[in-house]
Amino acid sequence: MTWDDGLAWLYSTRESSIKFGLEKTHRLLDALGRPDKKLRFLHVAGTNGKGSVCAMLDAILRRSGYRVGLFTSPHLKDFRERIRVDGEMISESHAASGLSRIRGAVEEWEHGPTFFEIATILALDYFAAQGCDFVVLETGMGGRLDSTNAITPLVSVITPIAMDHMSWLGETLPEIAGEKAGIIKDGVPVVSAPQAPEAASVLMAKALECGARLKFVCAPWSGEIALAGHHQKWNAALAVAALQAARIACSEECVSSALAGVSWPARFQFLSDRLVLDGAHNLHSARALVETWREVFQDERATVVFGALQDKEYAGMLKVLAEIASDFVFVPVRNERSATVESFSGFDLVPSMIAENLPAGLALALSGSRPVLVTGSLYLAGEVLELAEKSPF
């Protein structure tokens, strides 16, 4: 199987409807010789900040001399971004070989695995083959029935929980927290970001049920951090607490230098001196984005290029973003679940324009004199990075 063949097969599985559960993941792990049993995991769930916390854990562990596997989602430009060892994406040849093994293992199944189940297994199989000392494993949508939850970690890490993916995870914060709390395992320590009281109580009840020691981070990281925004200091504190709970030896010097140099794309990322890219895609992250904008730009307003998926709370996001926007430029997202640009009209509180696509929207926004902020979707962020790769802004 070539990489192109493997990628085509992988994406064909997206036609399968999502059905949460761990049965097929365990079945696949058994078929491949249980690669997870050769690995030590730090398992990260939550609504916002998962990717940043994973990047921080990866950076600290690598700076400390460990060989580290990193599994995150979604990718921005290339599927292989999801699976990295020591910062390097899985090669096309390794990915093709792994997908070929997985496809062979499921050929006789009546109902094959989903895209995310295959991605998870591909990652675990690769990390085991690469002899990783530790694996930083980010959940997909939820936690309890997420395919990553087939493993037993050294520590369970829970970032801020907020309203998102309600059609899958529940209509209330306690329901969503219950799904995220599903990564808590018997006797495995848990560290959590500060949570809303109704979410915190769910985590405490689950930890008590599992006999798992639970610690809430109570202060932000006080040192230097390369990622912009006060919320990233809380993410850093959570990452450090997770390493301490897992009893992984990392010197203060390694921790400090790693956090001072950590990078994670599409998190208040400057693509030029007047173009900022941020993957905020729900109300909670939009509020954090507005706070960060004010930290960096004070009272200066932005031309906001905005696109979102149809299942997101874009009306609320637009209301929040209007606090820092001089005007909006609405664009579609290159995704079958994109909201139409017409659906955004009427929700904004500042002047707005519609563009037929992202390049046109960026050209329109950059023709003005104000700084430009592109946000609303990680898929949209990926499109921007693709454009920047071809022609820097």
The reply to whether 137 and 254 lie within a common domain is yes
* pLDDT tier at 58, thresholds 50, 70, 90: very high
What share of the chain has pLDDT > 70, as a percent? 97
pTM of the model: 0.95
pLDDT exceeds cutoff 90 at 18: no
Domain end (from 261, 293, 317): 261
**pLDDT average, residue stretch 307-331:** 94
The reply to whether 214 and 279 lie within a common domain is no
Supply the pLDDT for residue 141: 84
* pLDDT tier at 16, thresholds 50, 70, 90: low
pLDDT exceeds cutoff 80 at 326: yes
What CATH number should be reported for the domain holding residue 306? 3.90.190.20
The region of weakest confidence among 112-121, 157-166, 381-390 is 157-166
What CATH number should be reported for the domain holding residue 56? 3.40.1190.10
C-alpha separations of 281 from 72, 143, 192, 226 in Å: 16, 19, 21, 22
* pLDDT tier at 17, thresholds 50, 70, 90: low
Supply the pLDDT for residue 171: 84
The region of weakest confidence among 72-81, 85-94, 343-352 is 343-352
For residue range 249-288, list pLDDT tens digits in order: 999 999 999 999 999 999 999 999 999 999 999 999 999 9
Query: In this structure, what is the dihedral angle of CA atoms 270, 272, 273, 274, given to the nearest 10 degrees?
Result: -90
Domain end (from 261, 291, 318): 261
The reply to whether 20 and 146 lie within a common domain is yes
- Domain count along the chain: 2
Can you tell me whether residue 373 is helix, strand or coil? strand
Burial 321-339 (b: 16+ CB within 10 A, else e): bbebbbbbbbbbbebeebb
* pLDDT tier at 169, thresholds 50, 70, 90: confident
Distance CA 136, CA 133 (A): 10
Structural domain containing residue 70 = 3-261
Residues pairing with 68 in the sheet:
134
The reply to whether 219 and 306 lie within a common domain is no
The reply to whether 247 and 298 lie within a common domain is no
Mean pLDDT of the chain: 95
* C-alpha 221, offset from chain centre: 21
* pLDDT tier at 15, thresholds 50, 70, 90: low
Domain end (from 241, 261, 281): 261
The reply to whether 220 and 365 lie within a common domain is no
Supply the pLDDT for residue 69: 98
Supply the pLDDT for residue 392: 85
The reply to whether 212 and 361 lie within a common domain is no
pLDDT exceeds cutoff 70 at 246: yes
The reply to whether 231 and 280 lie within a common domain is no
The reply to whether 181 and 257 lie within a common domain is yes
pLDDT exceeds cutoff 90 at 393: no
The reply to whether 308 and 236 lie within a common domain is no
The reply to whether 232 and 346 lie within a common domain is no
**pLDDT average, residue stretch 345-367:** 91
The reply to whether 91 and 158 lie within a common domain is yes
* pLDDT tier at 297, thresholds 50, 70, 90: very high
